[in-house]
Amino acid sequence: MAWLARRLGVAVLLVWAVASIVFLAIRLVPGDPAELLLSQGGVAPDPATVAELHEQLGLDRPVLTQYFDNFANLLSGDLGRSLQDGTPVAREIGRRLPRTLELIGVAALLAVLIGIPGGLFAAIGRHGLLDRIANRLSAIALAVPVFVVGTLLVLLFAQTLRWVPAGGYVPLADDPLGHIALLLMPAITIALGLSATVFRMTRAAVLDVAPRDFVRTARAKGLGRTRILLHHVLRNALMPVLTVLALHLGTLLGGTVLVEYVFNYPGLSGLLVDAVNARDYPTVEGVVLVISVLFVALNLAVDLLYAVLDPRVRTA
Amino acid sequence: MMRVRRGPAFAVAAIALVALLVPLLPLADPLHMDVAHHLASASLPHPLGQDEYGRDVLSRLLWGARTSLVVAAASASLACLFGTALGLVGGFVRGVAELVALRCMDIVLCFPPLLLALLIVTLLGPGAATLIPVLAVLYAPGFVRVVYAGVLSVRSQDYVEAMRALGAGPSRIMLRTILPNVAGPLLVQFSLAAASAVVLESGLSFLGLGVVPPAPSWGLMIGAARATMNQAPLLLLWPCAALSLTILAMNALCDALRDAVDPHTQPIRLPRHARQPEPAPPRPATGTAVLDVRNLTVEIDTPHGTIRPVRDVSFTLQAGETLAIVGESGSGKTLTGLALIGLLPPAAYVSRGSAWLQGHNLLRLNDKAFRRVRGGVLAMIFQDPLSSLNPVHRIGTQIAEAMHAHFEVAHYEAKEEVETLLERVGMPDPRRRARAYPHELSGGMRQRAMIAMAIANDPRLLIADEPTTALDVTIQAQVLDLLADLRRELGMGLVFISHSLPVVAEIADRVLVMYAGDIVEQGSVRELFAAPLHPYTVALLQSAPHDDGTLPVGIRGAVPLPHAMPPGCVFAPRCPLCEVACEAERPPLVEVAIGRMTRCLRWRELA
């Protein structure tokens, strides 16, 4: 329990540090949101109008006051309103976040379904034909950048074969089939590199566990091959694999920018890029805050998962 | 000496050479537009065609390599300098500097790298001048960690303390001792950062946030070619291929460097040759013996040739009898046990011999048949009960598993049976202990659980490999008593492998002494201890602690290396009685009385 409290404390501190750095950094660099909002076609706006908007948005107050107000609002659960159109930041994030989570979730599922059995079989037939082919494939999957994969998938399946639309998004409720068709290509794009990572981790972990003493004990008991592999080897090999997977998912939370751009998918990172370009302070801060909270929460979840998978951690 | 695989290194060198030499090559100007011929296909002056502004694709592709590698090399170097400095300061100054250096890196790491780069570049404006420092910040934590870990491991070591005592300043210590130590990992880190920088640079350029157009960059080319992919798909494919192949080569170089720095990750490849064991000898008339082993020989193929760590081991074992196999480590006693249960390590194999148990020749069983024998009529317990039990499953589950592997048992029956077994091996509170995980039990209780697992299916033969070595002395006696009791109650044969003569004296009926793969002496425990007939046994008895207070005497010399076995008696080099005949040829194992054997030419002088 003390362990959990300590971890939570560190997590909160980390989130606070990230939020503060973003808050200050975005205000320190050149670019004024009011000017950007008011300038049309490269014409500098009237300084009086800019000052008026500053006052209206509360940007004329000292930075420190803004900082404390900002955090006071955050503590009461208010992420503020967008400087661009006045909509609550929380609502826009609430619209975009589930799409990104769905994308990452489907990609992770595909990666696990391909990577874990692949890694297990490759490790069993170490240095065999299957192992060598799978290793080459994973090296290629890791070498091709996501935007190249995405672009080539669009070229092949959308432009040449015309099986699926090139990109976009429809809500599940409006058009379930269209939703899945649009989700599939970006998910596969992310899953390709991810499954190669899972594959390599699984293979290495299985090779690490297989020569351990308890596997020899399992064989001495006369257990069947499948039972030894699944119940003894894989069960112990899964722990490092899941950790790495979870960490990768964490980086994906904000790292889907390129995939969202290629497939014109309106997710969380697209929102962030637009907001940074417009110097929309509340939106940038809100998105960054949500991402870092999720990231830290995911790390915490990994630790808890470890406790579930490994009884030694539970009592430690 | 570091050995790096050649292929990846050559590939990366070739790409780097192109990047360096590209201004000297007879190429078209990568920036020269020729709108009249936009999207033109391949022609003699433009071998790969022209892009949407009529620029030469080949020229832009090769110049793109220069852009990628310059950004990669510059950002990785900057990150390396910055990270190394921070790691050295953090590790050496300690205190606040240490904390700040590490925590800053934690914050950088807690953010998706692409997103962080994107934010900074959006705020500061695109261009290589922003890109390089941004990437350097992203990759610095990796270097900090490598150097910091290096400093930590070095700063407490004796020779650094000695240098400090000699008056060397911290900077001198850093440069002299730490940097050479972390050079390998730093090189790996550098290659990882450079490869990753190529990916990030191209990604940001693709979004229009990296290299500024019209400079040639693969990311920019891919981004631009997307618009015209219907008319000119090749325009898209060339830079995709160039980029992916470059990253592939760099990743391969990273792996090669890592393997070179960290050699234990490299698999050892052994020459595979077909193992053709000699034809199986016919089943001997064993009489009442439970186990009859004849001429068991184990070989291992090593890079330096085949070694034979177990040679011509023969013995029989009666029901209810305990045979101890005694020897130093490397004597072949454990491999003998593992060969009998078919669990030799992958490199080792049985090249000769037979071992009959209940009508099965253990050395010739196929996998499927052996599975029925293992854990059934033949069971084994191992030296270290903690590592031999699966850490993530309950004790009860692991015992029940042994039953389910051999018989159809209902779940609740198995559960009751597990409790009975645990009670039988003297486990206090068996119901609760069945639900415990291995790490929750003491060493003695773990070994009791292992024994319960081994006797779950009422075996005829139990092989115990140093079952008490990892335990406290008081617990040792309890476990020995337990094994003796069980052997009597179940009427099974017990092969007890040990290096400890006092333990053997306590439990064994007969003793088999092994040295460097050979049986050197065999006899009943009383005879062998009272009147040993082999100089090695004599030396072994003298080296054990005595009850009467005389000091133990060590054996001079060491066990011969498996590759350099003496041609004659394997003990000759260490033997006080050694004479010319001993070194000429291997002495035979002679039966000097019923059940009494020795492999010594001069045994009469000992008797």
> Could you tell me the two tokens for A69?
């107000």
Nearest CB partner across the interface for A142, out of B251, B376, B439? B251
Given an 8 Å threshold on Cβ–Cβ distance, is B405 in contact with A231?
A: no
Q: Is cis: bond before B214, omega within 30 of 0? A: yes
Q: Which residues of chain B have a CB within 8 Å of the CB of A269?
A: 115
- pLDDT level of residue A110 (50, 70, 90 thresholds): very high
Q: Which residues of chain B have a CB within 8 Å of the CB of A7?
A: none
Q: Is A119 exposed, middle or buried (0-12, 13-18, 19+ CB in 10 A)?
A: buried
What is the H or E stretch that residue B495 is in? strand B493-498
ipTM of the complex: 0.83
Q: Is B358 on the interface with A (CB under 8 A)?
A: no
Q: Is B372 on the interface with A (CB under 8 A)?
A: yes
Alpha helices per DSSP H over chain A: 2-28, 33-38, 47-57, 63-75, 89-124, 129-143, 146-153, 176-209, 213-220, 225-227, 235-255, 257-262, 268-277, 281-309, 311-315
> Could you tell me the two tokens for A228?
């030894």
Quick one: what percent of chain B has pLDDT higher than 90?
40
- pLDDT level of residue B241 (50, 70, 90 thresholds): very high
Name the strands in the sheet holding B590-593, side by side, starting at the edge strand that comes first in the sequence.
B378-381, B461-465, B493-498, B322-326, B510-515, B518-524, B596-598, B590-593
pLDDT at A264 over 70: yes
pLDDT, tens digit, for every residue of B160-170? 777 777 777 76
- pLDDT level of residue B272 (50, 70, 90 thresholds): very low
Cα separation of A34 and B183, whole Å?
Answer: 51
pLDDT of amino acid B549? 67
pLDDT at B489 over 70: yes
Given an 8 Å threshold on Cβ–Cβ distance, is B391 in contact with A214?
A: yes
- pLDDT level of residue B304 (50, 70, 90 thresholds): confident
Least confident of A23-32, B44-53, B442-451: A23-32
* CA angle centred on B265, ends B261 and B269, rounded to 5°: 115
pLDDT, tens digit, for every residue of B413-440? 999 999 999 999 999 999 999 999 999 9
pLDDT, tens digit, for every residue of B70-84? 999 999 999 999 998
Q: Which residues of chain A have a CB within 8 Å of the CB of B112?
A: 250-255, 291, 295
Nearest CB partner across the interface for A147, out of B222, B345, B375? B222
pLDDT of amino acid B75? 94
Mean pLDDT of chain B: 85
Q: Which residues of chain B have a CB within 8 Å of the CB of A31?
A: 123
Q: Which residues of chain A have a CB within 8 Å of the CB of B373?
A: 222
Cα separation of B223 and B217, whole Å?
Answer: 10
Q: Is B162 exposed, middle or buried (0-12, 13-18, 19+ CB in 10 A)?
A: exposed
pLDDT, tens digit, for every residue of B316-366? 999 999 999 999 888 899 999 999 999 998 888 999 899 999 888 998 888
Cα separation of B150 and B539, whole Å?
Answer: 46
Cα separation of B584 and B590, whole Å?
Answer: 17
pLDDT of amino acid B368? 87
Given an 8 Å threshold on Cβ–Cβ distance, is B382 in contact with A213?
A: yes
Mean pLDDT along residues B558-570: 85
Mean pLDDT along residues B558-582: 87
Cα separation of A118 and A134, whole Å?
Answer: 8
Mean pLDDT along residues B43-48: 79
Given an 8 Å threshold on Cβ–Cβ distance, is B382 in contact with A155?
A: no
Mean pLDDT along residues B100-115: 74
Cβ contacts of B304 within 8 Å, gap of 6 or more: B563
pLDDT of amino acid B274? 45
Q: Chain A residue with minimal CA distance to B375?
A: A221
Cα separation of B562 and B350, whole Å?
Answer: 16
pLDDT of amino acid B1? 43
CB pairs under 8 A between A and B: 185
pLDDT at A314 over 70: no
Distance from the A48 Cα atom to the nearest Cα atom in chain B, whole angstroms: 25
pLDDT at B268 over 60: no
Least confident of A29-38, A85-94, A248-257, B37-46: A29-38
Quick one: what percent of chain B has pLDDT higher than 70?
93
Mean pLDDT along residues B131-144: 89
Torsion of CA B578, B583, B585, B589, to 10 degrees: 20
pLDDT of amino acid B405? 92
Distance from the A251 Cα atom to the nearest Cα atom in chain B, whole angstroms: 4
Is A105 or B207 the better-scoring residue by pLDDT? A105
